Amino acid sequence: MAEVSEQQAELADSVAKLQLALKRRYGEAARVENVSIATLGASNRTLLFDLVEPVGQRRLVLRQETVKSEVSPFISPHDQFEILNVVYRHCVPVPEPIFELELEDDLDVGYVMACVEGETLPKTLLNAPEFAVARQRFAAQTGEIFAKLHAIDPREVAFLEKVVDSVDPLAAQISRYDAYCEYHPGLDVGIRWLENNRPKEKPRVFVHGDYRNGNVILSPDGIEAVLDWECAHIGSAMEDFGWVCLRAWRFGNINQPVGGFGPRDEFYQAYTSNGGQAIDEDEIRWWEIFGSLRWAVLNMMQADGHIRGVRRSLPFACCGRNTSMIEYDMLMTIDGQFS
């Protein structure tokens, strides 16, 4: 109970400071109402609220950094906000960026963006009857979004060149894996395979880095917004393909490789017909195996946070068990039994 009271007090303090931040930007009449905390989200706190002004009100979202670690794979909230501005200009479906928090706001670093209505819960999206049309459109719409994203000149997000995943993504994962001192023989086999089968270098593009079922908002008509840009970097276009097709994001719909929604051929065709580069299925397979390593390391990060008491919760504790399941997926994919 004491922990709950502490969380409530922290929330009340954040809301009070947020209201002052809004008054500085929108005038003394501005106020915060209808506050709620999103139940999902493993690396950032997401606060939903109404900005109420004399002329009307608007639903907004405050995103704040909660994971701080020397080996964290996430870019800063400042860089995330800059990315939102870039992709919004290029008409990639994302929430409209509103403003970035400043020092005088006295809040943890973060930013405010528009709220996009829709659903993100994977099981709901994959099973609820009202999303039948959205499921049919998902693979093709994702191909179109990837084509638009990968066409953005990397120089517009040149600050991402400093991200270690932009330099050598495999070395970055191995470094994080070593940092947790939690070794798995299956992952070691996977690392050796990845090192021995690196794909040939190609022109690099701006990649989302975490596009998957759970990080997109869907309405019954289809994709409304792409969320969670904290893993964005410069790299191979095929990396985004490998990640969204990872078995972990199919949530049981293993015969629908594109996020559990649809087939690869429809996905690939939509990408190339909208100006995307030629599809390299062998490279995509490499990135899927890489994705298993990366997802295992992310689970280690969450479990480590729980064990050290940084963020204790049952879901984060369960991440420790997930690592062995991902290890199995990786080995079966290398063996050719999973596709």
How would you classify the pairing of strands 97-100 and 56-65? Answer: unpaired
At 4, the pLDDT band (50, 70, 90 cuts) reads low
Question: Are the C-beta atoms of residues 288 and 333 closer than 8 Å to each other?
Answer: yes
Strand partners, 205: 235
Q: How far apart are CA 257 and CA 270, in angstroms?
A: 15
Please report which confidence band the pLDDT of residue 236 belongs to, taking 50, 70 and 90 as the band edges: very high
Mean pLDDT, the chain, integer: 93
The mean pLDDT of 154-159, rounded to a whole number, is: 98
SS3 state at 223: strand
pLDDT bucket at 3, cuts 50 / 70 / 90 = low
Which residues, other chains included, contact 244 with Cβ-Cβ below 8 Å and sequence gap of 6+? 142, 211, 212, 213, 258, 259
Per DSSP, 258 falls in state: B
Return d(Cα 301, Cα 73) in angstroms, integer.
10
Q: For residues 317 and 98, what is the distance between their CA atoms, to the nearest angstrom? A: 35
Domains along the chain with CATH numbers: 2-114 (3.30.200.20), 122-334 (3.90.1200.10)
What's the rounded mean pLDDT across residues 96-102?
A: 97
* Nearest of 292, 294, 71 to residue 173 by alpha carbon: 294
* For range 168-185, the mean pLDDT: 95
> Helices in 27-93 by DSSP H: which ranges?
77-89
pLDDT at site 73: 82
Q: Positive or negative, the Cα torsion across 175, 180, 185, 190?
A: negative
Residue 118 contacts residue 251 (beta carbons within 8 Å): no
pLDDT value at residue 1: 47
Q: How far apart are CA 229 and CA 9, in angstroms?
A: 29
Cβ-Cβ contacts under 8 Å for 201 (sequence gap 6 or more): none
Compute the distance between CA of residue 320 and CA of residue 303 in angstroms, rounded to an integer.
Answer: 5
Half-sphere exposure of 64 (CA within 13 A, CB side): 18
What number is the average pLDDT over the span 145-163? 98
Q: Distance between CA 185 and CA 299 in Å, rounded?
A: 16
Check pLDDT > 90 for residue 164.
yes
| Cα 123 from Cα 252, distance rounded (Å) | 9
Determine the 3-state secondary structure of 265 from DSSP: helix
Q: What is the DSSP letter of 235?
A: E
Q: Rounded to whole angstroms, how far apart are CA atoms 18 and 27? A: 13
Q: Which residues pair with 45 in a beta bridge?
A: 64
Q: Cα angle vertex 263, ends 323, 339, to 5°?
A: 40
Say whether 217 sits in a helix, a strand or coil: strand
Q: What pLDDT, in 10s, does the model give residues 107-138?
A: 989 999 999 999 999 999 999 999 999 999 99
Single-letter residue type at 296: A
C-alpha distances (whole Å) from 19 to each of 66, 100, 271 are 20, 14, 43
Q: What is the pLDDT of residue 326?
A: 95
- Of 89, 59, 224, residue with least CA distance to 152: 89
Name the pTM for this structure: 0.94
- pLDDT tens, 265-282? 999 999 999 999 999 999
